[in-house]
Amino acid sequence: MSKYTEKSVLSGGASMLKYLIRRVAYMVVTLFIIVSITFFLMKLIPGSPFVNAQKLSEAQQAVLNAKYGLDQPIPVQYFHYMINTFTGDLGVSFQFNNTSVTELLSYRVGPSAVLGLQAIILGTIVGIFLGVVGALRQNTWVDYSATFLAVIGKSIPSFVFAGLLQYYIAVKLGLLPTQFWNGFEYTILPTIALAMFPISICARFMRTEMVEVLETDYILLAKAKGAGYFEIAFKHAMRNALIPVVTVLGPLTVSLMTGSLVIEKIFSIPGIGEQFVKAITVNDYPVIMGTTILFAVLFVVVVFIVDILYGIIDPRIRVAGGNK
Amino acid sequence: MKQQEENIDKSLFEPAGVDTLSAEKIEKPSLNYWQDAWLRIKKNKAAVVSMVILFLIVFMALVGPLISGKDFSTQTTSEANLPPRIQGLEHVSFLPFTGERTLKNGDVVNPYEQKGIEHYYWFGTDNLGRDLFTRVWKGTQISLLIAVVAAVIDLIIGVAYGAISGYFGGKIDNAMQRILEVLMGIPNLIVVILMILVLKPGIIPIIIALSITGWISMARVVRAQVMKLKEQEYVLAARTLGLSNFKIIFKHMLPNLTGVMIINTMFTIPSAIFFEAFLSFIGLGLQEPQASLGTLIEDGFKSMIAFPYQMVYPAIIISVIMIVFNLVADGVRDALDPKMKD
């Protein structure tokens, strides 16, 4: 027995390492391409990046261009930008009091992270619960309402849902604060709005997996052994059904990023998403580029971690071939 | 018991006729793939109801702007911010179509009577006095148009890419897959936003931005399906007969790909609707006076506290569209996916 496990661990380790190296290489290439695309697209955008550009004289514009290095040829700018980016220097904001982008964003990571984490925790717990209940009570009204909730959560755009929540719960009923970021009660509505998508995705995925697991032979065996209902459901079935749910973490991060833009705007939360939307409306290139890169890094890293986790949790999946 | 059995006279029995022809008779008419799928989707009540609602919404999107008798871009500032009022329903106090609105201090006023306005705005008017009913359906029309065109472009690029990659295999497939893997690593939210920033908001830029990343999932499913199909005998037969690769892919394999193509497109359309609305909401949507559901929600959101109806109607329409599209898509997937066959 021990011989077998040792052998499989060894061979698994070797292929795992190869896989890791390949994935890291992909990550670097992807990030490089994202940074390049961002840079060149930003150069193509019409409009001046400076406040009140029309009021500036030619000489003033030239001075400003020289100050921010915008007078140099594009390849040179590109080279500098690449070097700066990979050393963590994202440039200086044109519009927001000349703060460095890294600093500007660092203030805003907190609220976004709190919101994102709360949403993902709420989303996965409620979602998994709905999925499990739906699978255990298959084709009853419990199952149908759980499925219906999941469809609604997946369908209604987060900003519509957030707007309605804000209007009916905060404005009309006055139960919770409408906007801003001043403590836990301010996080409740945005968290719920942001968690809707994770809830529905987890619920649907969990239900499908659970239904499949409940039909396997080992569940039959557990029943034959006389294991109790809850023991079977939660100890035997749920644990195996949970494994593939890890894969939805990738899409969930994307949804959280997308959602954070609109939800932070709606609830006036001083997070990264709100900064991004503001930067877009005022053409602040360095902030747009910096935020884009931050989002991209986050996304790429999460996808990477999810893939690795998946390979570790479920030994049946050969990481080398199991690339989704 | 035994006694009784013995009592039955043998003459009561007669040999059953062995008819070799009727033994092979098929009781039910044989159904092809699509008839079979149709039968299955008809059993799915949610999908059927959703299809009807979807049909109604598409119908209203085309006809709605015409029947209101008002133009979507005409501004009548003297009639701005009027609440909804519908003929016949204006005296039904529990419906929100009375033309009355509650002020902050709780007083109920009727701006129509105050201003002496005779005509009816079914969904009310916005802050520039434009008829919301017309704008909502016009917006639905544009949102659907953007989504459908984007989905068709995704379909064309995705099928071509996936089919070539899957059919030729080997080095071509390897190279194409590496490109795809890198592209998949780029969050499409970012690409879409950057593209709109560069191209300036408008219907065509939004379609381009949505199609740039949208085809990837289609390419992946088509590739997987093509790899499966190319091992089939009919492809071998076609190849033996000397057919060109192009003809094999597009004449022989394509019909067998329609299932996955339809399923995928049904899921692309709602996601395109969502993205268009999302872009509008963060200020990258269509420009005035054009309207889409996203820009209407964005406008309505700004004046939500005073005039909630300006946000509620477009919000309801987009939510309903998204829900029914997802339900129809689920239904179509279950009906077309042979694995789900019952």
Query: Mind listing the pLDDT tens digit for each residue in A257-304?
Result: 777 888 888 888 888 888 888 887 777 777 888 888 888 888 888 878
pLDDT at residue A127 above 80?
Answer: yes
Whether the predicted pLDDT of A100 surpasses 70: yes
Residue B235: alpha-carbon gap to chain centroid: 33
> Using a CB-CB distance cutoff of 8 angstroms, which residues of chain A are in contact with residue B282?
261-262, 265, 277, 280
Number of Cβ within 10 Å of residue B319's Cβ equals 18
Query: Which comes out higher in pLDDT, residue A86 or A270?
Result: A270
| Rg, Å, chain B Cα set | 29
Cα B308 to Cα A311: distance, rounded to the nearest angstrom: 49
pLDDT of res. A210: 84
The whole-number average pLDDT for the span A75-91 is: 77
Distance CA B315, CA B304 (A): 12
> In whole angstroms, what is the distance from residue B224 CA to residue B221 CA?
5
Tell me whether residues A26 and B304 touch, CB distance under 8 A.
no
Q: Which amino acid is at A217?
A: D
Distance from CA of residue B141 to its chain's centroid? Answer: 13
Taking CA–CA distances from A294, the nearest residue in chain B reads B190
CA-angle at A134, arms to A131 and A138, nearest 5° = 140
Nearest chain A residue to B269, by CA: A155
Q: A238 near A210, Cβ under 8 Å?
A: yes
Alpha-carbon distance B172 to B170, whole Å?
6
CA–CA dist B183, B219 (Å, integer): 12
Confidence (pLDDT) at A161: 84
Q: What is d(CA B157, CA A288) in angstroms, rounded to the nearest whole number?
A: 29
Cβ neighbors of B1 (< 8 A, separation 6 or more) are none
Where helices occur in chain A by DSSP H, the ranges are 2-44, 58-67, 74-86, 101-136, 141-155, 158-165, 184-214, 217-224, 229-230, 238-245, 249-266, 272-281, 285-313
Nearest-CB residue to A262 (from B200, B282, B311): B282
Identify the band that residue A7 occupies on the pLDDT scale cut at 50, 70 and 90. Answer: very low
Which residues does chain B have within 8 Å of residue A151's beta carbon, measured at their own beta carbons?
323, 326-327, 330
The amino acid at residue A115 is: L
**pLDDT tens digits, residue range A20-68?**
888 888 888 888 888 888 788 777 766 665 655 666 677 777 777 777 6
Quick one: which of B134, B292, B289, B299 has its CA closest to B207? B292
What is the model's pLDDT at position B342? 39
What value does the mean pLDDT take over residues A92-114? 76
Helix (H, G, I), strand (E, B) or coil at B109: strand
- Local structure of B101: helix, strand or coil: strand
Measured in angstroms, the CA of A281 and the nearest CA of chain B are apart by 7
Q: Could you tell me which of B308, B327, B276 has the C-alpha nearest to residue B139?
A: B276
Greatest alpha-carbon span in chain B: 101
- DSSP helix/strand/coil, B85: strand
Tokens of B156: 């064309």
Contacts of A37 in chain B (CB under 8 A): 186, 191, 194
Longest dimension (CA), chain A: 86
Query: Tokens in use for B122?
Result: 């079914």
> Do the Cβ atoms of B301 and A266 come within 8 Å?
yes
Q: Which amino acid is at B32?
A: N
- Are A171 and B281 an interchain contact pair (Cβ–Cβ within 8 Å)? no
User: Closest partner residue to A26 among B185, B194, B327, by Cβ?
Assistant: B185
Which residues in B lie closer than 8 A to residue A258 (C-beta atoms)?
189, 278
Q: What's the Cα-to-Cα distance from A49 to each of A45, A93, A287, rounded to whole Å?
A: 10, 10, 11
**How close is the nearest chain A Cα to the Cα of B250, in Å?**
27
Which residue type, as a one-letter code, is found at position B29? P
Q: Please judge whether B191 and A300 are an interchain contact, meaning their C-beta atoms are less than 8 angstroms apart.
A: no
**pLDDT at residue number B157:** 92
Alpha carbon distance A12, A319 (integer Å): 9
Digit-by-digit pLDDT tens for chain B (342 residues) are: 555 666 778 888 888 877 777 777 777 777 777 788 888 888 888 888 888 998 998 888 888 777 777 777 777 667 667 777 766 666 666 667 666 766 666 677 777 677 667 677 777 777 777 777 888 888 888 888 988 999 999 999 999 998 888 888 888 888 888 888 777 777 777 788 888 878 877 888 888 888 888 888 888 888 888 888 888 888 888 888 888 888 888 888 888 888 888 888 888 888 888 888 888 888 787 877 778 888 888 888 877 777 777 788 888 888 899 889 888 888 888 887 756 443
Question: Any idea what DSSP says for residue A54?
Answer: G
Question: Rounded to whole angstroms, how far apart are CA atoms B286 and B226?
Answer: 38
ipTM at complex level: 0.76
Q: For an interface test with B, which of A256, A258, A263 has the most B Cβ atoms less than 10 Å from its Cβ?
A: A258
pLDDT at B190: 79
**CB-CB contact of B133 with B121 (8 Å):** yes
Cis peptide before B289 (omega within 30 of 0): yes
Please enumerate in sequence order all residues whose Cβ is within 8 A of that of B33, keeping only pairs 6 or more positions apart, or say none: B259
Per-residue model confidence (pLDDT) at position A1: 36
- Residues B213-250 as b or e (16 or more Cβ within 10 Å = b): bbbbbbbbbbbebbeebbeeeebeebeeeeeeeeebbe
Helix B188-199 crosses helix A249-266 at what angle (to 10 degrees)?
A: 50
Task: Choose the weakest-confidence range: A85-94, A234-243, A279-288.
Answer: A85-94
pTM: 0.80
CA distance A307 to B43: 38
Asked whether the predicted pLDDT for residue A249 surpasses 80, the reply is: no
Q: What are the chain A neighbours of B315 within 8 Å (beta carbons)? A: 160, 163-164
**Which of helix, strand or coil describes residue B124?**
coil
- The first and second tokens of residue B119, run together, are 């005509």
**pLDDT tens for residues A187-201?**
778 888 888 888 888
